[in-house]
Amino acid sequence: MPRPTTIAAVTVIVGAVLVFLLVGRTGDTPPGDDAVSTTIAPVAVEANAVVDHVVDGDTIDAIIDGTEERVRLIGIDTPETKKPDTPIECFGPEATAFTEQLLPVGTPIRIERDTVGRDDYGRLLGYVYRADDGVFVNYEVLRQGFGTPLSIGPNTTFEQLFVEAARAAETDDVGLWAACSGAER
């Protein structure tokens, strides 16, 4: 089955990553925010959904063609805050708050799928981009230290990019890398 990811979207992503690697960080971090900005030159993308609710750091509800869908961000795992019979994990509330900051309710987004479209819980699996500036949300969550890479084949298109983002966050000692001991991650 062919991937629904368009060649144009992949070209934009690859170009954006190359710009980031060649130019570096823009320093657009809001005053008083300790996060390292990885936002690159804005590149808007065409929206195909709107954020309806942020469930936690790696799961959102989105409206797609008038229907609400639960969307699990591919390739990342954030600390648990809503798993039944499980305590809230270190940096879980912060990860949820960060995703809420990136994707406020009503934000137009682009969801791109990989090979497998849904997980065992029926959630849509997606790479999520903010439409107005093209921020790659899955990547940004990792780069800012709010999650760790989680690759489940065959949905591994950005596996190496995600590993590099998490490594950079760990090196910069940001997010959960600064706040949580190794056993809690």
**Domains of the chain with CATH codes:** 7-169 (2.40.50.90)
Task: Give me the pLDDT at residue 42, please.
Answer: 66
Averaged pLDDT score across all residues of the chain = 83
Q: Alpha-carbon distance 83 to 69, whole Å?
A: 19
Query: How crowded is the C-beta side of 86, counted as CA atoms within 13 Å?
Result: 11
pLDDT in tens, 76-124: 999 998 888 888 899 999 999 999 999 999 999 999 999 999 999 999 9
Q: In percent, how much of the chain has pLDDT > 90? A: 70
Integer CA distances (angstroms), 46 to 6, 13, 18, 109, 166, in order = 11, 13, 20, 8, 27
For 62, residues 6+ apart whose C-beta sits below 8 A from its C-beta are: 49, 50, 51, 52, 68, 69, 71, 109, 111
Higher pLDDT among residues 134 and 27, named by residue: 134
- This prediction's pTM: 0.78
pLDDT in tens, 125-146: 999 999 999 999 999 999 999 9
> Is the pLDDT at 34 greater than 90, yes or no?
no
Active site residues: 72, 80, 123
